[in-house]
Amino acid sequence: MSEEIKYDRQRSNNFIAVGSENSKSIDLYYEDLGSGQPVVLIHGWPLNGASWEKQTAALLAAGRRVITYDRRGFGGSSKPSIGYDYDTFAADLNAVLTTLDLQKVDLVGFSMGTGEVTRYMGKYGSVRVRTAALIGTLGPYLVKTADNPEGVEASVFEGIKAAIKADRPAFLLDFLHNFYNYDVTGGKLVSERVVDANWNVAAQASAIGTLKCVDAWIEDFRKDILSNDVPTLIIHGDADRILPPDATSRRQAKMIKNVKFVELPGGPHGVLWTHAEQVNKELLSFLK
C-alpha cells in the first residue's frame, strides 16, 4: 500500500483513526487551519478543541498553522468505553502527529491536555517537538503519598467520581463555576453564556469517558517530565481552584531545565478565556 493511500485511509473528513472497539472505529475529530509553523492545541476536561477559540484566532493572526483535536470521548470524536488513560491519550496524540506528518511542532496543552504533552515526550521523545507549553498543568503527581507529600488526598478523587456518578450534569455545572472562579469573575471576565456553552459541550461528552478520565488525572508524571528536553513555557493562574499551583505548576517548573514560568495574578483555572490577552501575549512571545 502506498504511503499516500495509507494516509488517505487514516485521515478522512476531518477524522483520524486511532483504534477500534468491537465493530466500530475510534476516530478523533480535528481541525487544521492556516499555514506556517505548526502548533497543536490539546484541550482540557470536559471540553473540546473549540475551547481554544481565543488562542486559535491569535495564532492564525500571527501566521501559524493551528491544529486542534477533540480527545476521545469528547466533542466530535468517537465515544468508546476504552482508552481513557494517558498511555492511550499519548498514543492518540502520536497518531495525530504522524498522520499529519508534523515536524518541529509546538505542543500546547491546557489542564488535562498538559498530561498528553508530558506523557507523549515520556513515551515517544521530542524528535518531532520544537517547544512545549503547559497551561494550568496537572503534573507532576496529584496524589498524596509518602514520597509525594505535596499531593492531594486520594479520597478527594473518589468523591469527584461519586459526584459524577450521582448527577453528572449538576456536578459539571459546579465544576465550571469553580473552573472560572465565577463568584469573583462572573459578569466581569466571563459571562453566564460562556458557562452555559461549556456546560452544553461537557454534558454531551461520553458519560463513561467523563468518569474514567478522573483516574487518569492521578497518574504519576514525574518520570515523564525528565524526558522533557525542549524549551517549555508554564502558565498558571495563582487563584486556580481546580489545580492549585502549589501542588502542580510550581513543582513542575522546578523539574524542567529550560523553562519559563508565568503566574497570572488572580487567574482562575480557565485562564484561556478570562485572561486570554495575557495568555496569548506570553504564548506568542514564547513561540517566536
Give residue limits of the domains in the chain.
3-287
Is the pLDDT at 84 greater than 70, yes or no?
A: yes
Main-chain dihedrals φ then ψ at residue 19, nearest 5 degrees:
165, -165
pLDDT the model gives residue 276:
98
In terms of DSSP H, where are the helices of the chain?
3-10, 53-61, 86-99, 112-124, 154-179, 182-185, 192-203, 207-217, 222-225, 249-253, 271-274, 276-287
b/e per residue 54-88 (b: at least 16 CB within 10 A): ebbebbbebebbbbbbbbbbbbbbbbbebbbbbeb
pLDDT, tens digit (0-9, with 9 covering 90-100), for 93-108: 999 999 999 999 999 9
* Arithmetic mean of pLDDT over the chain: 95
- Cα atoms in the Cβ-side hemisphere of radius 13 Å centred on 151: 23
Can you tell me the distance from the alpha carbon of 176 to that of 261, in angstroms, rounded to the nearest whole number? 25
Torsion-angle region of residue 69: left (phi > 0), alpha (psi -120 to 50) or beta?
beta
For the domain with range 3-287, which CATH number is right: 3.40.50.1820, 2.40.10.120, 3.90.1300.10, 3.40.50.300? 3.40.50.1820
Is the pLDDT at 3 greater than 80, yes or no?
A: no
Strand partners, 227: none
Residues in the chain: 288
pLDDT the model gives residue 14:
94
Mean pLDDT of the 69-98 span: 98
Sheet holding 65-69, edge to edge: 11-12, 15-21, 24-33, 65-69, 38-42, 105-110, 129-135, 232-237, 259-264
pLDDT, tens digit (0-9, with 9 covering 90-100), for 234-277: 999 999 999 999 999 999 999 999 999 999 999 999 999 999 99
pLDDT the model gives residue 2:
47
Contact 195, 177 (CB under 8 A): yes
Can you tell me the distance from the alpha carbon of 19 to that of 205, in angstroms, rounded to the nearest whole number? 19
Mean pLDDT of the 36-52 span: 98
pLDDT the model gives residue 13:
82
Contact 80, 23 (CB under 8 A): no
Q: What is the C-alpha end-to-end distance of the chain, expressed in Å? A: 39
Model confidence band, residue 226 (pLDDT cutoffs 50, 70, 90): very high
- Give catalytic residues, as residue numbers: 111, 240, 269
Is the pLDDT at 11 greater than 90, yes or no?
A: no
Q: Is the pTM of this model over 0.75?
A: yes
**Position of cell 502506498?**
2
Element (H, E) at 100: none
Share of the chain above pLDDT 70, in %: 96
pLDDT, tens digit (0-9, with 9 covering 90-100), for 107-160: 999 999 999 999 999 999 999 999 999 999 999 999 999 999 999 999 999 999
